[in-house]
Homo-oligomer: A and B are copies of this chain.
């Protein structure tokens, strides 16, 4: 397997990555998107069933139709490309495990994009209109929308964030 070395340490990527909601008006290279989707596809899944599916939306009119389905319309409009992420119910064997696997795939996608200098926002709020997203893209009911990832060149970086301490998160140790 070919592995590209992009020079960003995995721990650095994990700790530096932030949600990016403001993008420059600049195109992104489709090759970088494809390599990042390949990273997404190398997430683990139960029985290696790989339940994730992706759409790629570059077209301004389609972006606008999706933007109208979420209160984060400005994020979707400003992105260079939108990546709706689905769970293929026909590839599913256990819904809870499959949903976790899709989350793992999205995390790989976000880390890969970050390591290549792109920014992304993981939009979940649009799930309230998941049927209409399927309508806009003319996709079948077997695809359950999990997220829309909005991608572009970050207008700014290094915004702060916070996490609970490990003492709060580790609820048992022996």
Interface residues, chain A, with chain B CB atoms under 8 Å away: 1, 3-17, 19, 34-35, 37-39, 41-44, 46, 48, 50, 52-59, 62, 84, 86, 94, 96-97, 99-104, 106-108, 110-112, 114-115, 122, 124, 127, 137, 139, 143, 146-147, 161-164, 166, 169-174
Contact = CB atoms under 8 A, between A and B. Distances in A.
Most chain B CB within a 10 A radius of its CB, from A48, A137, A163? A163
Contacts of A43: 107
A113 to B, nearest CB: 10
A9 B10 contact: yes
Nearest to A38: B166
Contact of A3 (B15, B99, B115, B122): B15
B171 A54 contact: yes
B106 A172 contact: no
Contacts of A171: 53-55, 86, 139, 143
Contact of A106 (B5, B42, B100): B100
A39 B58 contact: no
